[in-house]
Amino acid sequence: MKKIGVLTSGGDSPGMNAAIRAVVRKALFHDIEVSGIYHGYHGLMNGSIKPLTIGSVGDIIHRGGTMLGTARSEEFKTEAGQLKAIETLKSHGIEGLVVIGGDGSFRGAEKLSEKGIAAIGVPGTIDNDIPCTDFTIGFDTALNTVIEAVDKIRDTATSHERTFIIEVMGRDAGDLALWAGLADGAETILIPEADYSVDELLKTLKRGQERGKKHSIIVVAEGIGSAVELGNSIREKSGVECRVTVLGHIQRGGSPTAFDRVLASRLGAYAVECLLNGEKGKMVGLQNNQPVATPISEALNQKHTVDLSLYQLAKELSI
């Protein structure tokens, strides 16, 4: 293999830059040229490609976002879009591809591998919703961003003796809400993977008030529905006046944590090793602190699961 490409796709996540740097430097270490593909699969179909050198990826390991830009492409999901992408890759002499992104991006990598371009996926998403890896790149940074925000909200919640509902991202997965709620000692955590009822939630709030709690923090995953509607429902049923904060895209930005930088460096480099070993259509991940490669089809056939023992622990600790 003489030349590989790297792209980022889907929602950006902190640590993507560190992963790009690792791909480029590891490839150059093995005398393989690297092309940067800009704006995800959209850029791949339209030839938005430039060579990357050692210097191109200097001074980015600590930056959030992605220097390559990212996009979600409907056209690339079509056969015609994929053939267009293959043409671009061939015309640039790119024989292997590293795709940094989430499950949608991996499906694209699998299609390209089926059509003869070896592609390897690196899990980059704040949602931590990819099977076959213990963590995705960006999750830890987003988690720390959420915690910083909740700590600040806690100050005002205590001062005013208020109940706060804080909605966090995660798409259909509750990981971000669960870990943030546990790390923040939230009174209640609501995630799509566990049943809940507003009545049960009200009982928890009442129990807290009876033992002198002056404020309550409820962390909800966006996957359970609107936090604003939940606030309205609590207000109607109990008269409890709650404030709602939707954290939004602040969770996707910021300088990656040390954990995410190290994870990105390991997985980016490992993806290149996989290409050098002739692998294709695989995703890399970290399992028991070791990098592993799993066929994308196998990974995406599994349903991501949240660690419900953490949910139970959070419940027991917030009595």
* Cβ closest to ligand F6P, residue 187 vs residue 222: 222
Active-site residue flag, 12: no
Strands 96-101 and 3-8: parallel
- CA 83, 79, 296, 23 dihedral sign is positive
Nearest distance from residue 172's CB to ligand F6P, in Å?
8
Alpha helices in the chain (DSSP H): 16-29, 40-45, 79-91, 103-114, 139-160, 175-184, 198-210, 227-238, 258-276, 296-301, 308-317
Decide: helix, strand or coil at residue 173. Answer: coil
Nearest distance from residue 171's CB to ligand F6P, in Å?
4
* Cβ closest to ligand F6P, residue 9 vs residue 125: 125
Return the residue matching tokens 């999901």. 77
Distance CA 265, CA 274 (A): 14
Structural element, H or E, at residue 120: strand 118-123
Catalytic residue (choose from 31, 59, 103, 127): 127
Distance CA 230, CA 228 (A): 5
* Cβ closest to ligand F6P, residue 43 vs residue 192: 192
Which 8-state DSSP code applies to residue 289? T
Nearest distance from residue 169's CB to ligand F6P, in Å?
3
* Cβ closest to ligand F6P, residue 72 vs residue 243: 72
Nearest distance from residue 9's CB to ligand F6P, in Å?
11
Q: Which residues contact 112 (CB under 8 A, 6 or more apart)?
A: 82, 85, 86, 89, 97, 119
Q: Are 9 and 119 in contact (CB under 8 A)?
A: no
Structure tokens at 188: 């209640």
Q: Crossing angle, helix 103-114 and helix 79-91, to 10 degrees?
A: 70
Return the residue matching tokens 């970290």. 286
* Cβ closest to ligand F6P, residue 5 vs residue 14: 14
Nearest distance from residue 270's CB to ligand F6P, in Å?
22
Q: Crossing angle, helix 175-184 and helix 308-317, to 10 degrees?
A: 30
Contact positions toward ligand F6P, by CB under 6 A? 11, 102, 125-127, 169-171, 222, 252
* Cβ closest to ligand F6P, residue 125 vs residue 163: 125
Nearest distance from residue 197's CB to ligand F6P, in Å?
24
The Cα-based distances of 99 to 67, 96, 169, 202, 272 in angstroms read 14, 10, 23, 45, 11
* Cβ closest to ligand F6P, residue 171 vs residue 243: 171
Nearest distance from residue 241's CB to ligand F6P, in Å?
28
Catalytic residues: 127
